[in-house]
Structure 1
Amino acid sequence: MLLQDGCAAVVHLSSCHHLSEFGQAVCRCLQMRPAFSTVHHGYELRFLNTGMLCTVFLKLSCQVVSPQLDTMTQMDYKYSLLGPAIDDYRKRPLLLQVDNTPMNPFAVLEVKRDALKRSNNSGCFCKIRVYGVLFGLAVMFVIMASYVLNGDKKGLLLTPSPYHFTTLVNPGLFAFNLSSEKDYAHIKLVVKSIKSKVDFGSSRHIPELKALIKTDPHMFSVIPHKFLPGIKNPCWYEEYTGNRTSDPYRTNMYGRYSRRFRTVFQHLRSSFHKHLLYRKKKLYRMRCLPYFYIIGQPKCGTTDLYDRLRRHPDVKFTTFKEPHWWTRKRFGIIRLSEGVHDPYPVEDYLDLFDQAAYQIQGNLTANDRGYPSHPNIIIGEASASTMWDNNAWVYFYDNTSEGEPPFLIQDFIHAVQPDARFIVMLRDPVERLYSDYLYFGIANKSAEDFQEKVSESLQLFEGCLMEYTMRSCVYNTTVNNAMPVRLQVGLYIVYLMDWLKVFNRDQILLLRLEDHASNRKYTMHKVFDFLGLGPLTKEKESEITESPASNTRRPADKNLGPMLAITKEILRDFYTPFNAKLAKVLQNDSFLWENR
């Protein structure tokens, strides 16, 4: 394969020994070699292996000469670092084959011209300069827009490098108009293919405690094996090694990146030292973990549930609803658009619960016997990513099995807190996906655009299933980042079955948003009973159950109207086998969402 300046090509190779130097470089990457670079005929070839992809960022469009095809083909790489943010669907990348081997749509190679080499073709050089300028302007615009429009949301605008990997697929796949009978028939076949590969029979291997400790020894050294007796919430005393004038929150990463947390820490700082316990010439501070977690799912009513629960006098949350420590901050992911920073230590996470710990400690010290008069104060945490977001695993754990993560978030929570309780709020996954699109979408949202993104995502998911197991594709970071809508978040049963592998069924309360919306009093009573909370006065109960709903759809999004009927039909067909398994496991047919 011959490449001109700035080109990139996609290849799939089954063996290396008979290939040229160029082909061998590609093949080494595909055969699980770590990141490396080489120079071939003046081109700098840079590779990054992720276990599934060989990929790097592409700078601009180019011409590719294929000896097999004997043609020159203009290529435009929509699926690069800025893939999800670019809406120009008119140009599509071309899949090439080498040695007549079928194409792997999840392998990408960047070829960058050595700066010291110059092309003899002045026309090509001028074209490259023009493309380079235009590309630079486009990048600047998209990055600026991401900061202005995305804010603190974990949106879909940009995906961080190196956490987003280029995915190129056949140009004929994504230029779809479902109003066309031919295109509609093709997408139906895609869904049929996906459903034929749905398999709930495989079970994951539960890692041993020793293996978990090895991945994060510091966290396990901070959190004790046993908690204080006589109180409901998991708490303990930790020796404080600072002096009485030091700032305990000075290095907290949450405060560094969030103005809201800085304000909270300023308040906590003013009363921190008076809450220190002095025993045997040492200072101690109370530390607490949450008693319960609202773990999912996004756009299923978790914010409304959080707002109502925090009105209960015995329930305490952090000021910020979603710390995302277990899924993101622990790995150094602050915002999805900003790449990776230093990981947040567990102490920074525990700091978020200091205000609640003060109240629990106050109850302890107020009682002569050392037991609180109000033992039912509990702490909650409501990161809606906890149930499903394991996207960081591929970058930190290298011992994979069939492309599936060796460790999941629930493994670590169970290891330090086996008695924790979890609340899951679900809704019709078809409606969840559209709500997710409207909430996180930035510009040019429409039912037609949603339709196109659904088609694209379905085909990416099907492409993964051609080579990997269903669980592997659900947890596959590359596929998840490449899909313009988050289809995988609605595959509730896949995540639930993995949670039930480590926690008992009675530790997880599952609710439906549809039931909550129609009868909040009923669902809130279920939550109160599940958490073992005491009775409320009628006035307080009315305040909790009758307050307006939180985080509802914005007026501008309501004006877009519902999704297209044909899109709904396709999505309902896609989610049907997953809903059926969910209803069977829960022995509750309402989770089929058939009457909608």
Structure 2
Amino acid sequence: MMRRNRKHLTVLVLAGLLSLVWLFQLTNKSRFLQKAFVTEIREYAITKPICLPNKTLSTTEDLLCMEMPSFLPDYKNPCWRNGDGRLRCLPYFMQIGMSKSGSTDLFDRITQHPDILGNQGVVGKETRWWSWIRYGTTLIRKAKKKTFEDYLNLFNKPALVIDSPTKTDENGFHFAITGDGSPMDAWDFRGWTQIPQNKGLKEPQVLTPDLVRHVNKNTKFIMIMRNPVERLYSDYYFMRLAGDSSLHFHNSVVASIAILNQCLRNNSMLTCLTGNEQHQLWNRAARIHIGFYSEHVKQWLRVFPRKQILFLRTEDYSADVSSHMSQIFNFLGSRPLTATEMKSYGISLEAKKHVTARKKAKGPMLQKTRELLTALYEPYNKKLAEILHEDRFLWRD
């Protein structure tokens, strides 16, 4: 009897010990998950960068030290008047991302709406100021630095239209808006080293989204993205990079991935994607960096709420232009257009603008290249789908 009791007691003790081990592992796992959750929250927390007077890193303006005027309440577009009474305006919306995803075609259709205006930048669309011109650079060359005042000047003509009686209702409300359609603003953050708040940092803490928010926290954004594999192939021939065939493209992709892997040995993905040296190397091979959409989107959602950013897929837009344009006009709060108006303004026409004809002439991508790029982008597509809660951004269709 005693032996049986001892055996029973031993079993109970062992069961108890196993339970303690299980609880310990569960607690550690819970702490890990909790830590990961907190990290995720911190990652998307709205940053509050501050003005650093007399600590400028270069001749680049410290936008965070600028006190923005109050916008006029009887204007839909963010506008104010100078001391001389002249109307000054910022863009109501910014169409950012992604290069070779149909951004030019989309912006052109948006600004065919009678109440939506372009700007005085490149092709009436791209100011290129936030990412390039304010830092004295373009894609690969240096340029003369332009100030915030220079940026505002690109909206002088739209401001005149916004201020006109033809764009004013019977209650005196000015309903016209203007936009900035610079796709590089979504992904090109190379100028971060010239932002005073980043002085001495290895990795940026203040980026374009932070600066835009300081200027106008209510800015609306439209971001259009294309399957990153297809985007890169079109981009390669559009940019006329390292060669002129599918085999040249494959070799360029291999070279670009090697550049990324070399950088990632000692740096984070953010550091690599915002590094000027890496950009210049990719610009001479294949611009794979643009296709890591989740990494770029995170920076915008870190600062702006989801409701202010409309995310579109090129594939969906191309399949049904009219419904997407109606969705965009609704998002911008502009009056809806009838099917007849859409057609008369050229908004619903099927023909696309700026098709990369050179890519078509070169034939399809090599299968080995497609497999390589699919493997490269798949984890980031998954992350993007998780962030946006949209499985269509997996690009499995």
> Per the shorter chain, which TM-score range?
0.7 to 0.9
The match for 1:209 is: 50
Q: C-alpha displacement at 1:223, in angstroms?
A: 6.2
Give matches, 1:489-508, under 5 Å: 489-508=290-309
The match for 2:382 is: 580
Gaps of 5+ in 2: 1-38
Q: Is the 8 A contact 1:237 1:286 kept in 2?
A: yes
Structure 2 counterpart SS, 1:284: coil
Q: C-alpha displacement at 1:504, in angstroms?
A: 0.4
Gaps of 5+ in 1: 1-199, 240-282
Rate the CA distance shift 1:464–1:349 in 2: closer, same or farther, 3 A. Answer: same
Give matches, 1:33-112, under 5 Å: none
The match for 2:286 is: 485
- In 2, the alpha carbon distance for the partners of 1:512 and 1:565 equals 23
Tell me: higher relative CO, structure 1 or 2? Use CA pairs within 8 A at least 6 residues apart: 2
Q: Is the 8 A contact 2:225 2:312 kept in 1?
A: yes
1:499-527 C-alpha deviation (Å, 9 max, x unpaired): 11110000000000000111111211111
Rate the CA distance shift 1:420–1:587 in 2: closer, same or farther, 3 A. Answer: same
The match for 1:265 is: none
Q: Is the 8 A contact 1:399 1:406 kept in 2?
A: no
1:262-297 C-alpha deviation (Å, 9 max, x unpaired): xxxxxxxxxxxxxxxxxxxxx321100000000111
The match for 2:81 is: 237
Rate the CA distance shift 1:377–1:547 in 2: closer, same or farther, 3 A. Answer: farther
Q: C-alpha displacement at 1:400, in angstroms?
A: 4.7
Alignment TM-score, normalising by the size of structure 1? 0.55
1:403-428 C-alpha deviation (Å, 9 max, x unpaired): 32232011110011000000000010
Rate the CA distance shift 1:212–1:523 in 2: closer, same or farther, 3 A. Answer: farther
Query: Letter of the aligned partner of 1:237 in structure 2?
Result: R
1:457 aligns with 2:301: no
Query: Letter of the aligned partner of 1:434 in structure 2?
Result: Y
- In 1, the alpha carbon distance for the partners of 2:379 and 2:362 equals 29
The match for 1:325 is: 129
CA-atom RMSD in angstroms: 2.5
Q: Which has the higher strand share?
A: 1
Structure 2 counterpart SS, 1:376: coil
Structure 1 counterpart SS, 2:187: coil
Q: C-alpha displacement at 1:220, in angstroms?
A: 5.9
Rate the CA distance shift 1:357–1:220 in 2: closer, same or farther, 3 A. Answer: farther
The match for 2:180 is: 381
Q: Is the 8 A contact 1:207 1:407 kept in 2?
A: no
Q: C-alpha displacement at 1:376, in angstroms?
A: 2.2
- In 2, the alpha carbon distance for the partners of 1:291 and 1:228 equals 13
1:516-541 C-alpha deviation (Å, 9 max, x unpaired): 11111121111111101112233221
Of 139, 144, 156, which aligns to 1:354? 156
Q: Is the 8 A contact 2:140 2:280 kept in 1?
A: no
The match for 1:178 is: none
1:431-476 C-alpha deviation (Å, 9 max, x unpaired): 1111110100157411001100100111111111111112211222
The match for 2:312 is: 511
- How many pairs were matched up? 346
1:306-362 C-alpha deviation (Å, 9 max, x unpaired): 1101110010001422110111111122x4443243x10111111111111112222
Of 405, 409, 418, which aligns to 2:204? 405
Between the aligned residues of both structures, percent identity stands at 34
Query: Letter of the aligned partner of 1:209 in structure 2?
Result: I
The match for 2:331 is: 530
- In 2, the alpha carbon distance for the partners of 1:305 and 1:400 equals 39
Q: Is the 8 A contact 2:381 2:393 kept in 1?
A: yes
The match for 1:176 is: none
Query: Letter of the aligned partner of 2:214 in structure 1?
Result: A
Give matches, 1:304-319, under 5 Å: 304-319=105-120
Q: Is the 8 A contact 2:79 2:87 kept in 1?
A: yes
